[in-house]
Amino acid sequence: MEFTDVVRRRRMIRRYSSRPVDPAVLDRVLQNALHAPSAGFSQGWAFLVLDDPEDVARFWRSTAEDGLEAPDGWLQGMTTAPVVVVPLSHKDAYLDRYAEPDKGWTDRDEARWPVPYWDVDAGMAALLMLLTAVDEGLGACFFGVPGERLDDFRAAFGVPGEYRPVGCVSVGYPGDDDRRSPSLRRGRRPVEEVVHRGSW
């Protein structure tokens, strides 16, 4: 697929068909994510990959905001995804990397960082997953783990405390009755409104 088509066709998919995802296809999604840029080439990310129905069910049990008893439309759709990938950021990997001689931030002072590059990089990897999914004919959706369910999520999957999910990526073949987000009614902001050429 042409790159521009991949970008333009990408949209979040929140309901999936029962067609399973070939492990080789999922591997390509993950391999491409490893080509994301990272500050100091730290690559301080980790991806928790859940492609077994039991694991996916455990994911939803541990993260669903109001439990699974009376799932709303969003949850009913999202739980049809055969695969969930959780990209996690690892701040210490960046503090360690930038304490090396070529960077020299031996004080490991977080105030030096203009923004949390550990989260930025994991987010860039997630975007590559979303784009690769489109290129492979798959659908995907980026969504968050509710803050109050973070401990349950970590406990359910043995995730060390220093790793933080920047979000989650559901992956699968799009279902027939996917519902688009009401947020889209906001419309896409035009380039003249967003871009400041030469000065603000």
Ligand X SMILES: Cc1cc2nc3c(=O)[nH]c(=O)nc-3n(C[C@H](O)[C@H](O)[C@H](O)COP(=O)(O)O)c2cc1C
Residues that bind ligand X (CB under 6 A): 11-12, 14, 141-144, 167, 181, 183-184
Dist CA 121 CA 119 (whole Å): 5
Report in angstroms how near the CB of residue 6 gets to ligand X at its nearest: 13
Report in angstroms how near the CB of residue 2 gets to ligand X at its nearest: 18
Closer to ligand X at the Cβ: 7 or 99? Answer: 7
Report in angstroms how near the CB of residue 65 gets to ligand X at its nearest: 10
Q: Strand 139-143 vs strand 168-172: parallel, antiparallel, or unpaired?
A: antiparallel
Smallest CA-to-CA distance from 50 within 75, 73, 79, 74 is with 79
- Which parts of 64-109 fold into alpha helices (H)? 73-78, 91-98
Closer to ligand X at the Cβ: 11 or 58? Answer: 11
Report in angstroms how near the CB of residue 12 gets to ligand X at its nearest: 4
Closer to ligand X at the Cβ: 76 or 181? Answer: 181
Report in angstroms how near the CB of residue 142 gets to ligand X at its nearest: 5
Closer to ligand X at the Cβ: 44 or 87? Answer: 87
Both tokens of 191, joined, read 């380039």
Closer to ligand X at the Cβ: 19 or 179? Answer: 179
Residues sharing a CB contact under 8 Å with residue 177, sequence separation 6 or more, in sequence order? 15
Dist CA 140 CA 16 (whole Å): 9
